[in-house]
């Protein structure tokens, strides 16, 4: 790993600040009948990119402005009824979103702006006709918006955004990881998501062969997603010349990505769920929690026709047994199956209008783009006839013991297996024996064609054993510690657009440890509070508080990557990810201290927190690139040394946070 200098020049250090102010206010409007609560929190942050060499214009700082507001009114017209209305929103404005810490810079004219946020409106009613019955109903409406556009189009109406982007000249992005975006940003993005939901549940307490808490419920959601990429027809990528990224005039065309079908996309879906569960105590020492859940999905694609529908039933059951019949040794066992109903991501995956792209390279000798694209993606996905819902099975077993004197211990074994993921297999390209380049296609077009399946050979497994120990010295002083051994294993970390099963020659290497696998984790935390350390008078006291959190965990695995000529990048594995290469052990200590002032009905806390006290800058991501384009020699950096395993990012440095909190 590349060592971190003890002290960097100020010109090479990123500078940032982040501030927030929150106000919470609540109380009765009509005593015991009507009351309210409201919260407002504003945040403002600015981060600047270090300038390592001269530029015509300095990169602009990234600016974050956001507001979170919340309000709730609750009305209890009688002892049997409670009604509430609730609203919240989070408008956010981000300027210069392309600013990046490292060797990647953007000129002011190439920056972008992002406006995002949304709101939630909800209403609820709880009805308790008697002591053994509870009926609860809630309604929701939610909207989330994103507007992302070049800074050159700031102030343009949303309707004219596409015309503005298409009218920009010098639209390009850097092709090199350490390149410099000097051109105007070439496209925008708009998203509107709406969710209308209703849910109702009935809880009934009965005595029949023991005590029961029966609960049944139904949830229904209607989802709408509208996306648009105004001005997106093609994006040109440029690479710097022999004089390096400093020479802005030396940038030349590298390749161009052309897109089709990225206009307005409208998706909709209906999700309905129903469940029935019970908390049954047949005898004093045993509690059983059986249940079953039904999920129905009806998802429409981008042309309004049915994309996918399904209905699933998932059993779940848990039990707790008092082993020693003294309430101090509970043994717990749980099993549950969980289905993925799809949501709108599947509507998009099974689109019917073309959404393809093609990559065309620049011919420097001819001074023109090559006549034929090097990479072409078909606009539609093939769909198998037997798509099924992905699912996971989860089981945990454990035992806890109150050993007296405030000490407690708990040991839990957990196993989770998820399979039948939504998987997009590439089925048209013919690869060479090494899986490093394409030598033909089955239909002769050279297009990439993806088939949507839910194969059982795609899976993830998570196994863990956790032992936790707690000690409560008194009501104001307690500590907790835990150790976890775990293993995350499978074929890929996620679903949808994955590279799994795309290259047959790579399939043998695709099962191994997952990117989030951490073998060992140790956590120690505690807090202490003495509210009346200094008694001033009967109604006034000064107190002290403290807290600490220490974590140690194994680094995640990585593996050597080899060059893939077709994708023009390093994406091929030479072996399974088996833990031979791991990031270093990661640790962090956070401390908190403060004073409290209690005066009559008010309490104030002044706290100082220090995160990463020892300023540990452990590497948390590295370069996976292993061999050069030939595959026979290591890939060398500008310094002439192999780049495999060199640091890309490190743990956040030490920072302080000062807070003031009041209650009255």
Residue 644 has pLDDT above 60, yes or no: yes
Q: How far apart are CA 330 and CA 322, in angstroms?
A: 5
Write phi, then psi, for 504 (nearest 5 degrees).
Answer: -55, -35
Burial class of residue 430, CB neighbours in 10 A (0-12, 13-18, 19+): exposed
Lowest mean pLDDT among 58-62, 597-601, 623-627: 58-62
The confidence band for 337, taking pLDDT boundaries of 50, 70 and 90, is very high
What average pLDDT does the segment 389-402 reach? 96
Detail the DSSP E strand segments found in 494-585: 512-513, 520-535, 540-553, 557-558, 561-564, 569-573, 581-582
The confidence band for 13, taking pLDDT boundaries of 50, 70 and 90, is low
Q: How far apart are CA 5 and CA 16, in angstroms?
A: 20
pLDDT score, position 100: 60
176's CB contacts (< 8 A; 6+ apart) are: 239, 240, 245
Residue 3 has pLDDT above 60, yes or no: no
Element (DSSP H or E) covering residue 66: strand 62-78
pLDDT score, position 14: 59
DSSP 600: T
Residue 157 has pLDDT above 90, yes or no: no
- The residues pairing with 83 across neighbouring beta strands, listed in sequence order, are 75, 125
Sequence-ordered alpha helix ranges (H) in 275-404? 343-349
Residue 289 has pLDDT above 90, yes or no: yes
pLDDT score, position 356: 83
C-alpha closest to that of 149 among 109, 112, 186, 95: 112
The confidence band for 51, taking pLDDT boundaries of 50, 70 and 90, is low
Pair of tokens at residue 621: 């991501």
pLDDT score, position 163: 87
Lowest mean pLDDT among 161-170, 215-224, 331-340, 415-424: 161-170
Contact by Cβ (8 Å): 451, 424: yes
C-alpha closest to that of 26 among 34, 18, 14: 34
Per-residue CA distances from 523 to 361, 386, 462, 483, 590 (Å): 51, 45, 19, 7, 12
Residue 358 has pLDDT above 60, yes or no: yes
DSSP 642: B
pTM of the full structure: 0.82
Residue 158 has pLDDT above 80, yes or no: no
Could you report the per-residue pLDDT of 557-615, keeping only the tens digit for each?
Answer: 999 999 999 888 899 999 999 999 999 999 999 999 999 999 888 899 999 999 999 99
What average pLDDT does the segment 605-632 reach? 93
Lowest mean pLDDT among 131-145, 367-381, 529-543: 367-381
Identify the three-state secondary structure at position 624.
coil
Identify the three-state secondary structure at position 558.
strand
Given the structure tokens 């950096």, which residue do they identify?
A: 637
Question: Assign residue 178 a region: left if phi > 0, alpha if psi is -120 to 50, beta otherwise?
Answer: alpha
Could you report the per-residue pLDDT of 225-270, keeping only the tens digit for each?
Answer: 999 998 888 899 999 888 877 788 888 999 999 988 767 889 999 9
pLDDT score, position 7: 45
CB atoms within 10 A of CB 11: 9
Arithmetic mean of pLDDT over the chain? 90
Sequence-ordered alpha helix ranges (H) in 339-484? 343-349
pLDDT score, position 610: 96
Residue 396 has pLDDT above 80, yes or no: yes
283's CB contacts (< 8 A; 6+ apart) are: 210
Contact by Cβ (8 Å): 48, 17: no
> Which has more pLDDT, 646 or 494?
646
Per-residue CA distances from 149 to 106, 191, 199, 231, 622 (Å): 15, 12, 37, 10, 31
Per-residue CA distances from 251 to 238, 245, 338, 360 (Å): 6, 8, 52, 17
Residue 5 has pLDDT above 50, yes or no: no
Contact by Cβ (8 Å): 421, 443: no
DSSP string, 259-277: E-S-S-EEEEEEEEEEEEE
- The residues pairing with 388 across neighbouring beta strands, listed in sequence order, are none
Q: How far apart are CA 413 and CA 400, in angstroms?
A: 12
Burial class of residue 342, CB neighbours in 10 A (0-12, 13-18, 19+): buried
Could you report the per-residue pLDDT of 64-76, keeping only the tens digit for each?
Answer: 999 999 999 999 9
Contact by Cβ (8 Å): 645, 623: yes
Highest mean pLDDT: which of 175-179, 208-212, 379-383?
Answer: 208-212
Pair of tokens at residue 144: 């989330």
- The residues pairing with 72 across neighbouring beta strands, listed in sequence order, are 37, 86
Contact by Cβ (8 Å): 431, 437: yes
Given the structure tokens 């049997």, which residue do they identify?
A: 80
Could you report the per-residue pLDDT of 93-105, keeping only the tens digit for each?
Answer: 999 988 764 445 7
pLDDT score, position 17: 76
pLDDT score, position 4: 44
- The residues pairing with 134 across neighbouring beta strands, listed in sequence order, are 203
Given the structure tokens 């990012």, which residue do they identify?
A: 649
What average pLDDT does the segment 295-319 reach? 93
Q: How far apart are CA 11 and CA 53, in angstroms?
A: 9
């Amino acid at each position: 790993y590349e060592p971190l200098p003890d002290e960097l020049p100020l010109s090479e250090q990123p500078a940032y600040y982040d501030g927030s102010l929150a106000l919470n206010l609540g109380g009765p409007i009509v005593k015991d009948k009507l009351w309210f609560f409201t919260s407002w929190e504003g945040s403002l942050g600015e981060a600047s990119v270090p300038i390592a060499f001269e530029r015509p214009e300095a990169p602009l700082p990234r600016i974050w402005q956001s507001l979170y507001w919340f309000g709730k009114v609750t009305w209890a017209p009688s002892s049997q009824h409670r009604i509430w209305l609730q609203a919240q929103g989070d408008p956010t404005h981000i300027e210069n979103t392309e600013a990046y810490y490292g060797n990647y810079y953007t000129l002011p004219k190439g920056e972008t702006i992002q406006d995002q946020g949304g709101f939630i409106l909800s209403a609820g009613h709880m009805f308790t006709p008697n002591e053994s019955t509870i009926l609860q109903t809630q309604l929701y409406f939610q909207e989330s918006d994103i507007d992302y556009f070049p800074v050159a189009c700031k102030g343009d109406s949303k309707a004219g955004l596409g015309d503005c982007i298409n009218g920009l000249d010098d639209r390009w992005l850097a092709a090199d990881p350490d390149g410099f975006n000097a051109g105007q940003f070439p496209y925008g993005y708009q998203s509107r998501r709406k969710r209308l939901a209703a849910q109702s549940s009935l809880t009934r307490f009965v005595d029949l062969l023991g005590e029961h808490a029966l609960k049944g419920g139904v949830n229904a959601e209607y989802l709408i997603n509208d996306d648009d990429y105004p001005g997106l027809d093609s994006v040109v990528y440029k690479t710097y010349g022999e004089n390096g990224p400093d020479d802005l005039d030396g940038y030349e065309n590298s390749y161009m990505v052309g897109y089709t079908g990225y206009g307005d996309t409208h998706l909709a879906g209906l999700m309905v769920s129903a469940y029935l569960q019970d908390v049954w105590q047949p005898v004093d020492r045993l509690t059983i929690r059986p249940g079953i859940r039904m999920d129905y999905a009806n998802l429409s694609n981008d042309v309004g026709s049915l994309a996918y529908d399904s209905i699933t039933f998932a059993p779940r059951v848990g039990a707790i047994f008092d082993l020693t019949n003294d309430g101090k040794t509970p043994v717990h066992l749980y099993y549950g199956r969980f289905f993925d109903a799809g949501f709108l991501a599947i509507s998009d995956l099974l689109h019917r209008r073309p959404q393809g792209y093609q990559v065309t390279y620049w011919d420097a000798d001819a001074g023109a783009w090559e006549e034929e694209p090097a990479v072409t993606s078909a606009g539609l996905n093939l769909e198998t006839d037997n798509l099924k819902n992905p699912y996971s099975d989860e089981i945990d077993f454990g035992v806890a013991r109150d050993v007296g004197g405030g000490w407690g211990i708990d040991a839990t074994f957990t196993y989770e297996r998820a399979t039948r993921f939504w998987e997009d297999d590439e089925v048209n390209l013919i690869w060479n024996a090494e899986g490093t380049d394409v030598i033909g296609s089955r239909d002769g077009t050279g297009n990439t064609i993806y088939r949507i399946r839910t194969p059982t050979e795609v899976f993830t497994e998570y196994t863990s054993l956790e032992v936790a120990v707690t000690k409560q010295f008194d009501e104001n002083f307690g500590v907790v510690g835990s150790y976890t051994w775990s293993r995350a294993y499978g074929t890929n970390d996620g679903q949808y657009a994955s590279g799994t099963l795309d290259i047959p020659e790579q399939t043998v290497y695709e099962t191994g440890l997952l990117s989030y696998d951490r073998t060992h984790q140790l956590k120690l935390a505690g807090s202490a509070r003495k509210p009346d350390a200094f008694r001033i008078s009967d109604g006034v006291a000064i107190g002290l508080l403290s807290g600490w959190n220490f974590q140690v965990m194994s680094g995640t695995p990585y593996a050597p990557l080899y060059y893939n000529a077709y994708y023009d990048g390093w994406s091929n594995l030479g072996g399974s990810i088996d833990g031979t290469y791991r990031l270093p052990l990661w640790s962090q200590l956070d401390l908190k201290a403060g004073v409290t002032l209690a005066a009559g009905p008010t309490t104030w806390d002044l706290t100082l927190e220090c995160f990463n006290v020892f300023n540990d800058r452990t590497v948390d991501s590295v370069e996976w690139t292993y061999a050069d384009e030939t595959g026979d020699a290591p890939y060398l950096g500008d310094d002439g040394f192999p780049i495999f395993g060199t640091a890309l990012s490190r743990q956040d440095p030490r920072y302080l946070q000062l807070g003031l909190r009041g209650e009255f």
